[in-house]
């Protein structure tokens, strides 16, 4: 689980290998055999010997809708293997837990980025990723991948959350009990505002836009956008709009602060919410020094609920 510095997200579900630059794509000779229906754990058979050194991507089942672009968040059920001269090993399996993975395109190893670009909801994608398109010559001890190991992913794409939807959000101001909240700063600009009343001691939730999508249930993967500001001065301390992509969290399980778990479970996708989170439901008496959050800080968020899986 990857840790973030700033406030609401105690951990982001970046279940795939992370942060390498992209390159060029390859063919469709994935070499492995995949059996099973979309949405169920696939059976993957490997041939004898080591894999070839070429990137290969193949779509076994085709979905519909708009394909994923760089910066989109792709949500998919998946299995991931390492494969080398000494054989193969299962490294990850989202089907066991029943919660899909969230793959932020543009922040994955190159081969996986290429496999997911253009993917659509309903696709089953198989990717064979050589070391040159994965972790490179050093491998990755955290993920038990050696320098000569290839990666194999089978991904059942549930959906994509795109950047266009993100950019249209958050260009207004809202008020709650005399506290004017900064706009979501789509271009990363800081705005200040003043709250003229004392911060509430209990969690406050206001629905700014009522969504009509599915209800957010405990334990589901929730794709969202947010901006967070301090009650004391209205200064933005974190914003997903600034980062250029939406985020995903497993809600109601302690992965995020208590105020978010309490406020977001039971809401509907498509909603925009204004949250006022007291310290007891945020970062507590210790605060979070890296983000400038003090132990007595009340935090204000505007959250857009984009999708639940």
Encode pLDDT of 169-213 as tens digits.
Answer: 444 455 555 555 544 333 344 444 556 678 889 999 999 999 998
Q: Is the pLDDT of residue 14 over 70?
A: no
pLDDT score, position 176: 55
Residue-wise pLDDT tens digits, 289-298 = 888 899 999 9
Domain boundary among 140, 161, 182: 161
Residue 57 has pLDDT above 60, yes or no: yes
| 206-246 pLDDT tens trace | 999 999 989 999 998 898 889 999 998 888 898 888 876 78
Tokens 């990137």 belong to which residue? 55
20 found inside a domain: no
Confirm if 302 and 227 have CB atoms less than 8 A apart: yes
Q: Among 16, 140, 121, 149, which Cα is nearest to 62's? A: 121
Integer Cα distance of 83 and 87 in angstroms: 6
**Is there a single domain that holds both residue 124 and residue 257?**
no
Same domain, 70 and 125: yes
Question: Is residue 98 domain-shared with residue 179, that is, in the same domain?
Answer: no
pLDDT confidence of residue 198: 82
Give the separation between CA 10 and CA 2, rounded to whole angstroms. 9
Q: CB–CB of 145/139 below 8 Å?
A: yes
- Does the predicted model carry a pTM greater than 0.85? no
Section 74-93 average pLDDT: 94
For residues 286 and 293, is the Cβ–Cβ distance under 8 A?
no
pLDDT in tens, 28-49: 699 999 999 999 999 999 999 9
| pLDDT (0 to 100) of residue 217 | 92
Give me the pLDDT at residue 106, please.
Answer: 86
Does 19 map to a domain? no
Check whether residue 225 and residue 130 sit in a common domain. no
For residues 269 and 34, what is the distance between their CA atoms, to the nearest angstrom? 34
Rounded to the nearest integer, the mean pLDDT of the chain is: 81
pLDDT of residue 240: 83
Taking phi over 0 as left and psi of -120 to 50 as alpha, with beta for the rest, 92 belongs to beta
Q: Are residues 107 and 191 in the same domain?
A: no
Among the three residues 127, 146, 161, which one is the final residue of a domain in this structure? 161
Judgement on whether residues 99 and 228 belong to the same structural domain of the protein: no
Once rounded to an integer, what is the mean pLDDT over residues 124-145? 90
Q: Using CA atoms, how far apart are residues 130 and 140, in angstroms rounded to an integer?
A: 13
82 backbone dihedrals φ, ψ, rounded to 5° = -105, 150
Report which secondary-structure segment, H or E, holds 262. Answer: helix 258-264
Residues 205 and 133 in one domain: no
169 and 303 inside one domain: yes
Using an 8 Å Cβ cutoff, are 126 and 156 in contact? no
Distance of alpha carbon 35 from its chain centroid, rounded? 28
Backbone phi and psi for residue 88, each to the nearest 5 degrees, phi listed first: -130, 160
Instruction: Give the distance, in angstroms, between the CA of residue 143 and the centroid of all CA atoms in the same chain.
Output: 19
Residues 169 and 299 grouped into a single domain: yes
Looking at 161, 190, 215, which one is the last position of a domain?
161
Residue 197's CATH number: 3.10.50.40
**Confidence class of residue 153 from pLDDT cuts 50, 70 and 90?**
very high
| Domain range enclosing 286 | 164-308
**Domains of the chain: total:** 2
Q: Tell whether 285 and 171 lie within a shared domain.
A: yes
Q: Would you call 124 exposed, middle or buried from its count of C-beta atoms within 10 A (0-12, 13-18, 19+)?
A: buried
Residues 68 and 85 in one domain: yes
**DSSP category for residue 152:** E
């Amino acid at each position: 689980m990857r840790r973030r510095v700033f406030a609401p997200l105690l951990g982001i579900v970046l279940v795939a290998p992370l942060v390498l630059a992209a390159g060029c794509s390859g063919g469709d000779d994935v070499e492995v055999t995949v059996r099973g229906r979309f949405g169920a754990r696939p059976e993957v058979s490997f041939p004898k010997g080591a894999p070839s050194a070429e990137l290969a991507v193949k779509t076994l089942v085709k979905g519909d809708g708009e394909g994923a672009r760089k910066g989109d968040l792709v949500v998919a059920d998946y299995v991931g293997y390492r494969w080398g001269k000494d054989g193969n090993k299962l490294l990850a399996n989202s089907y066991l837990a029943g919660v899909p993975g969230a793959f932020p395109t543009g922040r994955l190893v190159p081969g996986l980025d290429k496999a997911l670009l253009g993917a659509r909801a309903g696709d089953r994608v198989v990717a064979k990723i050589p070391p040159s398109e994965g972790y490179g010559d050093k491998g990755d001890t955290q993920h038990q991948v050696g320098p000569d190991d290839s990666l194999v992913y089978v991904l059942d794409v549930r959906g994509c959350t795109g950047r266009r939807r993100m950019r249209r959000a958050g260009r207004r101001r809202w008020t709650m009990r005399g506290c004017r909240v900064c706009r979501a700063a789509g271009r990363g600009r800081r705005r200040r505002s003043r709250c003229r009343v004392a911060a509430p001691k209990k969690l406050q939730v206001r629905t700014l836009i009522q969504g009509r999508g599915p209800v957010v249930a405990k334990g589901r993967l929730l794709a969202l956008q947010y901006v967070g500001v301090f009650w004391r001065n209205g200064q933005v301390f974190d914003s997903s709009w600034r980062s250029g992509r939406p985020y995903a969290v497993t809600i109601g399980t302690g992965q995020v602060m208590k105020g978010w778990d309490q406020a977001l479970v039971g809401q509907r996708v498509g909603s925009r919410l204004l949250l006022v989170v007291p310290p007891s439901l945020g970062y507590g008496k210790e605060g979070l020094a890296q983000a400038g959050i003090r132990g007595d800080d009340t935090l204000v968020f505007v959250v857009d609920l984009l999708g639940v899986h």
